[in-house]
A and B are shown apart, each in its own frame.
Chain A
């Protein structure tokens, strides 16, 4: 019962945030001086009017807003302004698959490598292996992903010739983009895991477990790791955001025809309906990721109080 209320309240807040994002998107676009077709001088007045009508731009703003909300609820983001006769929804669904695949692989790789790195660093605290792991982690945080991507591309694709420079055909083509995309999340997770594992390793209940005569591996997996990865769960939401923003750039560099590339193109084309559509779509994904993170956390940490819908 408590669980249901907790989930419901989290879901409600997600909807509120989403509503704010959609509204902000809509009114910001309306705040652009003139209208999107002003800049295109080549368009004759009649056609411009037809376009205005087609996009509903000649109605009062409030009416447009209502229409927009209704359309979005039906999954209709309108028609791209710059790519003739292309529906925004269609553009998104066509390209999102590639981005999703890349993103999911990056998430899985980030969590596995990050946790392992952090765990090993904590177990060998202040030893060489810890120092190496932490230097790698700091570098991963400090070097922007597009720099990493460019360097990987230069060294391993261009010079060594092990991978295609760009394009996305075989499984090998995932390697470089995934590495570039996961570098920063791996670094974050490794640092998070390390400090949390160190805390757990010194916790009193580990001493209790040792006093029971359990062997070290049992203690490590049943008591240390279980508690040590809790903070990582909270990072899953922000990490998704990180990987999505990262993919926008990475897809461009490696010539992957994903949603990120569509987004970059839409921005440089000032394709407003497309920008709005992709923004809201990204927003939905990110908020969903946060929502799932919140729910997941309740399952892994029994201490969370469910009664007030807030983490205790």
Chain B
């Protein structure tokens, strides 16, 4: 065999010594180094979420709004329902930070009370949706077959009945209160969640680790709650986060029809509605609740999106 080396520019043959050709073998330590620290799936997602500045900002805004809706009404000397007819429609000043409304009630307190009501409605509706959705969707996905088919058909039919119309009807019939509003919002709200859960469970239940656990004799309950649901948690949390602003929005819309919470209690939606007639004269009466409701929607939506990106392993680089 004719051997001929090409010229080596960096080091010609003369500079090489036999020592250079001492055998060292594979450097296994070096080649087996794991290049990236391995993180648990949840911590990994959390770190990715923290890298998303927008989502972190949204999370902070969310927390501030929640905290203020709890303590906001307490740090003012006024309460939300006492009328003060000497001081109606006052612009924001050092006494009334957000001004007063047409009955002289302090807008700062009312705005945060309104946020409290709106958030309570949103969170409660979302949580009830979650509970019903997880149970219903879990059963559909886990048992499959005929059970799934029938339950799914039922959900589909219910879903195609326009939900706001049903909600409106319910509130026309039963006097609007926090309880009835939440109930009315959840009457079809859970269906979406149940479909998310169903889809996840169907995907997960044929995975090897679930089959392994089943082959070791794990019961349905254990499988569902220990293996399936925890792994379906990502999409469930994202759906939950995004359903809060939806409920808040629906409540605001109902308020506009006069089917929201009733005076003297107010939600952000009903305050905006009440200010609508004279808002060119007293813009602050609309401005503060409007900003707050928009900010809440914004924060929940952006945070939900960020959460989805962080939990979606497809985007992992």
Contact = CB atoms under 8 A, between A and B. Distances in A.
B51 to A, nearest CB: 15
B contacts with A: majority SS: helix
B276 A253 contact: yes
Contact of A13 (B157, B259, B269, B294): B157
Interface in A247-286: 248-249, 252-253, 264, 267-268, 270, 272, 275, 279, 282-283, 286
Interface string B260-294: 00000000010011001001100100100010011
Given A28-B169, A150-B279, A245-B164, A17 B294 contact: no
A141 B298 CA distance: 8
For the side of the interface on A, what is the size category? 35 or more
Contact of A21 (B165, B170, B272, B293): B165
A16 interface: yes
Interface of B: 156-158, 160-162, 164-166, 168-170, 172-173, 245, 249, 252-253, 256-259, 269, 272-273, 276, 279-280, 283, 286, 290, 293-295, 297-298, 301-302
A194 interface: no
Contacts of B253: 144, 245, 249
A89 interface: no
A290 B256 contact: no
A260 to B, nearest CB: 10
7 contacts: A24-B166, A144-B249, A144-B269, A144-B272, A241-B164, A282-B165, A290-B160
A13 B156 CA distance: 9
A31 B173 contact: yes
A128 interface: no
A154 B298 CA distance: 23
B276 A283 contact: no
5 closest cross-chain pairs (CB), A and B:
A142-B297, A142-B298, A17-B160, A286-B162, A147-B290
Contact of A264 (B158, B249, B257, B269): B257
A contacts with B: majority SS: helix
Given A147-B290, A154-B279, A272-B172, 11 more contacts: A16-B157, A21-B162, A21-B166, A24-B169, A28-B169, A29-B173, A146-B272, A154-B283, A249-B253, A267-B259, A279-B168
A20 B297 CA distance: 32
Interface in A201-255: 241, 245, 248-249, 252-253
A241 B258 contact: no
A154 B172 contact: no
A146 B280 CA distance: 14
Contact of A158 (B165, B258, B280, B297): B280
Contacts of A253: 276
Contacts of A144: 249, 252-253, 269, 272, 290, 293-294, 297
A268 B273 CA distance: 14
A241 B167 CA distance: 14
A138 B162 contact: no
A25 interface: yes
A138 B166 CA distance: 28
Nearest to A237: B160
Nearest to A267: B257
A20 B160 CA distance: 10
Nearest to A242: B164
A275 B170 CA distance: 12
Nearest to A18: B161
A141 B165 contact: no
Nearest to B275: A150
A213 B295 CA distance: 48
Contact of B257 (A14, A31, A138, A248): A248
Nearest to A270: B172
A13 B283 CA distance: 48
